[in-house]
Amino acid sequence: MKVKFALGIVAGIVILQSGCTTQSQSLPMPAEAQNQNKDGVALYFSDQPHAKVKTLIESKEVRVRVGRDPNSKEPMCNVALGKALQDLRGYARTKNANAVVNVTTRFQGKEISSSTEFKCGSSVTGATLAVRGDVVQLATE
């Protein structure tokens, strides 16, 4: 009886953990994320061309985790990316920056520096990622 009980517990743990495995993915960059100038702060991924940097304020990383919304048709990694970029822009605004350049995405140490794809981790419960970039004042001339 004790052996069957123990085997049942082990089987339950294996089943639960297999359903909660987070998978690292490289995904196409959604069109909305490529909207460079939104809310007064432009985003430039990777080595996208931009005006000359007048002032480098600081490098900033924003990490987000979003839970699965059963009513949303939007892929969870796209939701996580949108939230992270929104938070990064919000932070830049508090520093009176007009842009974030050299934006990259990362999940568990695997970073992508690209304007066409991003890195994300997703599971049945949600998605997570980090974005990093240089918060700057670009020359306006």
Per-residue pLDDT tens over the stretch 54-93: 999 999 999 999 998 888 888 899 999 999 999 999 999 9
Q: Indicate which CATH number applies to the domain containing 132.
A: 3.30.110.70
Yes or no: say if 135 and 50 are a contact pair by the CB < 8 Å rule. no
Cross-strand partners of 26 = 119
33 or 10, greater pLDDT? 33
Range of the domain at 126: 22-138
Q: What one-character-per-residue DSSP string does 41-83 give? A: EEEEETT---SPEEEEEEEEEEEEEEE--TT--S-HHHHHHHH
Residues contacting 13, CB < 8 A, separation 6+: none
Instruction: Name the domain count of the chain.
Output: 1
| This prediction's pTM | 0.81
- Residue at 41 is within a domain: yes
pLDDT tens for 95-122 read 999 999 999 999 998 999 999 999 999 9
Return the pLDDT at 39: 73
